[in-house]
Structure 1
């Protein structure tokens, strides 16, 4: 992990790695599909039709899905790789990427990833399920991974069981980077560290950490101190494993609980929320095999402490 030189500047910049949009000028009258097959010779006919279907092709600034749209000399044609998602009229999440295979969202703290026995509605899952069904009642979404209710940041859902399975069964190979930001109590003396323990869950749904391999699942967490103040440290945290409450438990093991986390030893809550944010998610797309990278803005409340 790289030590930021200027955390406020570094953490305010978005660094999505994505294909550059393409722009072409029509040199002679043609039809749109014929034109695209000529310009995108590396892609199959089916791939080009998918671009049209997903409204990623623009003629003179207007999204076009009709393959036989006539083109005239001098017209401008654009390929915009990232689909512009419909704005969901509900507080708590924002779609930051969508294609025919998956959806990536930025979830606010306080929103459940999926339903529980106590809460069925207004979860990230239920909101996205309603969203895709508005496009087609047969559409569904599938959980790939989860975030704790009080953790904000990036999550990914699949649009089919096939994609869900492809991502989950090859999770360690598919995930290129998964970086969290954690605001913890006190000053962490060691600037870089690695925490290894074995986690098990009690009947009270609390995770416990042990150094005994026979007492739980192995959990490995890497951290780097990015910023400190008189009372807090801001850490960049990367996971080798993804156990339930792993970061929260390991910060307690470190002796510096995440702020607002009274479940795992915190005694302060200066920003009235858990100080944990899923900042960066980078993965290999299960179908296109492209390297996808998404980075969210750091919660302003975090930066306000430093």
Structure 2
């Protein structure tokens, strides 16, 4: 929960006032470990200037595994992680070991780790893996029945003219693993995405997209077709790459726990590079 700064000072001085029992060393570690936010902006310097009235937020303690994989939650049935960009979700013909799936197998020795969905190599965000056959079947069924919640933060080229809407198309994959929109419904799969425009700035748009279906490259193909390719996505026609990565982040994942049925929802903060382009974005 955010707290309003009672005065103008450096972020370290503000933290001292909010957490008087914590040492300077501890406060600086919180900043170093990317736990401190000011007005939803991740702070990396202890001398960052805070103005009275700004929101100060201390994020939960983070648990990192290999390759910057962050463990968001784990129990005997599931493991929920934040997958960093430029890491495969599962093995491919060209890469077998440096994947989120393979790395998690080294954490859960003696257990099977089952992938139930994927994120693209260039996409960061929340993923869930099953740790039992029963959990795998439950989660797979939820994805198939579209009872999960999947929300993405997306930066696209050009300024959107619509505040919200829906993209609905049929998609097919060609021999080069590229997806295309088609009118051939028999040999394609329906893809539905709901989008909301959050902010416009300097010829770009920050969108929040909710998946109804989960087809390969779905948001990337549909956004490009509408005239708004995802930044950094040269595969689907993007001409700019201002943050040296794909402008796609899986921000929220919701599902029912496979054993208890309890509704779970996991969200991950907007990437720092996204924040640098759009200062006012906030989950």
2:210 is aligned with 1:234: no
Q: CA separation in 2, counterparts of 1:244 and 1:187?
A: 25
Q: Which residue of 2 aligns with 1:304?
A: 276
Q: 1:86 to 1:270 in 2, by over 3 A?
A: closer
Q: CA separation in 2, counterparts of 1:105 and 1:189?
A: 35
Relative to the length of structure 2, the TM-score reads: 0.75
Q: Which residue of 1 aligns with 2:94?
A: 118
- SS of the residue aligned with 1:194? strand
2:216 is aligned with 1:244: yes
Deviations 1:45-72 (A, max 9, x none): xxxxxxxxxxxxxxxxxxxxxxxxxxxx
Number of residues paired by the alignment?
223
CA contact (8 A) 1:96 1:105 kept: yes
2:196 is aligned with 1:220: no
Q: CA separation in 1, counterparts of 2:157 and 2:232?
A: 9
Q: CA separation in 2, counterparts of 1:174 and 1:250?
A: 19
Q: CA separation in 2, counterparts of 1:86 and 1:230?
A: 36
Greater shift after overlay, 114-123 or 263-272?
114-123
Q: 1:202 to 1:290 in 2, by over 3 A?
A: same
- SS of the residue aligned with 1:304? helix
2:227 is aligned with 1:255: yes
Once the two structures are TM-superposed, the CA of residue 253 in structure 1 deviates from its matched residue by 1.2
**Counterparts of 1:1-306 in structure 2 under 5 Å?**
9=39, 87-88=64-65, 90-133=66-109, 138-171=110-143, 175-306=147-278
Deviations 1:273-299 (A, max 9, x none): 000000011111111111111110110
Deviations 1:6-32 (A, max 9, x none): xx94687xxxxxxxxxxxxxxxxxxxx
Q: CA separation in 1, counterparts of 2:146 and 2:41?
A: 25
Q: CA separation in 1, counterparts of 2:93 and 2:218?
A: 23
Q: CA separation in 2, counterparts of 1:239 and 1:274?
A: 18
Q: CA separation in 2, counterparts of 1:96 and 1:296?
A: 9
- SS of the residue aligned with 2:134? helix
Deviations 1:129-183 (A, max 9, x none): 01101xxxx2110011000000000000000122111111232557442100000
Q: CA separation in 1, counterparts of 2:130 and 2:62?
A: 15
Once the two structures are TM-superposed, the CA of residue 85 in structure 1 deviates from its matched residue by 8.8
- SS of the residue aligned with 1:183? strand
Q: Which residue of 2 aligns with 1:75?
A: none
- SS of the residue aligned with 1:170? helix
- SS of the residue aligned with 1:120? coil
Q: CA separation in 1, counterparts of 2:62 and 2:74?
A: 7
Aligned-CA RMSD value: 1.9
Once the two structures are TM-superposed, the CA of residue 303 in structure 1 deviates from its matched residue by 1.3
Larger Rg, first or second structure (1 or 2): 1
Q: 1:11 to 1:196 in 2, by over 3 A?
A: farther
